[in-house]
């Protein structure tokens, strides 16, 4: 939850492509939901599946953040010497 709040502050200060941002937030929400499901299910095999889904969602959110960073860098003017 703290990471989500920190990301929101970061998002509000740096404009990103809306589609990239929506996808990233969707993956973060999916991660949280899968972690809750993993914690709440009684079956260990099912819990492992939910944990894997949460890890995949985290991975995708990180890749989307890398994409957003690349987009921000592409928009910056080159540094002068």
pTM exceeding the 0.85 threshold for the entire prediction: no
Across 7-34, average pLDDT? 76
- Alpha-carbon span 72 to 66, nearest angstrom: 10
DSSP per-residue codes, the chain: -HHHHHHHHHHHHS---HHHHHHHHHHHHHHHHHHHHHHH-S-HHHHHHHHHHHHHHHHHHHHHHHHHHHHHHHHSPPPP-
pLDDT tens string 25-81: 999 999 999 999 999 999 999 999 999 999 999 999 999 999 989 888 888 777 676
């Amino acid at each position: 939850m703290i990471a989500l709040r920190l990301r929101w502050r970061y998002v509000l200060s740096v404009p990103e492509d809306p589609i990239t941002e929506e996808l990233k937030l969707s993956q973060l929400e999916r991660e949280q939901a899968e972690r809750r499901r993993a914690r709440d299910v009684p079956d260990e095999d099912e819990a492992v599946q939910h944990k894997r889904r949460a890890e995949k969602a985290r991975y995708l959110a990180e890749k989307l953040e890398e994409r957003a960073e690349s987009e921000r860098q592409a928009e910056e003017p080159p540094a002068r010497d």
